[in-house]
């Protein structure tokens, strides 16, 4: 059996070769307390910031006058063509619409329906579909002066009542948060 010199000396002089004792409340422990105190202060600051953010969000909640649901009126055509109701299918001045749902039904012989923004041109196409359905966009907003219009080919089209959120234009930033 081989004994290392340090082991042999530790057997002869145990007090001299004893392992070091655990540190007392010296600089190392104070540094650990300092880190802990810093963490507590950081957490307190984060908690205060979260409370301020929650209070700001509560203050920025929109009233019914600033933001509310509206119905988009229905329309129907018995033949192929364009259905355009500029006074009913777009927001008035100082309002923005977020479109939530637009149900439509193709008539007999209708091959396709298309939804446009502002004018029935290819660059304004929002939806083109060959079956009846409900269009539920996530990010379709209409600014003041913009409107929707429908077109059908081959036959008539029934546009059922849709749903939109009407937002006061001054409240749009708060709505988008």
pLDDT in tens, 27-62: 555 555 577 777 777 777 778 777 777 766 665 678
CATH topology of domain 67-176: Jelly Rolls (2.60.120)
Tell me, what's the pLDDT at 32? 57
- Position 96 confidence tier, pLDDT thresholds 50, 70, 90: very high
Tell me, what's the pLDDT at 79? 92
Tell me whether strands 81-83 and 162-168 are parallel, antiparallel or unpaired. Answer: unpaired
Q: Under DSSP, is residue 27 helix (H, G, I), strand (E, B) or coil?
A: helix
* Rg (the chain; Cα; Å): 35
C-alpha–C-alpha distance, residues 139 and 96, integer Å: 12
C-alpha–C-alpha distance, residues 163 and 69, integer Å: 7
Q: Using the predicted structure, report yes or no on whether residue 25 has a pLDDT greater than 60.
A: no
Q: Do residues 112 and 155 make contact, with C-beta atoms less than 8 angstroms apart?
A: no
DSSP string, 19-43: PPPPP-SSHHHHHHHHHHHHHHHHH
Tell me, what's the pLDDT at 50? 79
- Between 12 and 158, residue with greater pLDDT: 158
Burial 6-24 (b: 16+ CB within 10 A, else e): eeeebeeeeeeeeeeeeee
Helices of type H across the chain = 5-12, 27-59, 172-176
Q: Do residues 68 and 165 make contact, with C-beta atoms less than 8 angstroms apart?
A: yes
Residues in the chain: 177
Tell me, what's the pLDDT at 26? 52
C-alpha–C-alpha distance, residues 22 and 36, integer Å: 20
Q: For 107-163, what is each residue's pLDDT tens digit? A: 999 999 999 999 999 999 999 999 999 999 988 999 999 999 999 999 999 999 999
Residue that the structure tokens 């080919």 belong to: 153
């Amino acid at each position: 059996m081989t004994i290392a010199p340090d082991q042999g000396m530790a057997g002869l002089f145990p007090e001299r070769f004893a392992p070091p004792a655990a540190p007392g409340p010296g600089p190392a422990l104070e540094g650990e307390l300092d880190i802990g105190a810093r963490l507590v202060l950081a957490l307190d600051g984060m908690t205060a910031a979260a409370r301020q953010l929650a209070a700001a969000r509560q203050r920025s909640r929109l009233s019914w006058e600033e933001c509310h649901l509206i119905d988009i009126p229905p329309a129907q055509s018995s033949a192929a063509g364009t259905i355009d109701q500029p006074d009913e299918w777009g927001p008035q001045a100082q309002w923005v619409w977020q479109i939530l749902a637009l149900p439509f039904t193709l008539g007999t012989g209708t091959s396709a329906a298309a939804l446009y923004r502002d004018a029935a041109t290819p660059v304004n196409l929002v939806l083109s579909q060959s079956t009846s359905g409900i269009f539920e966009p996530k990010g379709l907003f209409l600014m003041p002066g913009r409107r929707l219009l429908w077109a059908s080919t081959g036959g008539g089209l029934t546009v059922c009542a849709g749903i939109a959120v009407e937002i006061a234009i001054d409240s749009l930033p708060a709505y988008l948060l």
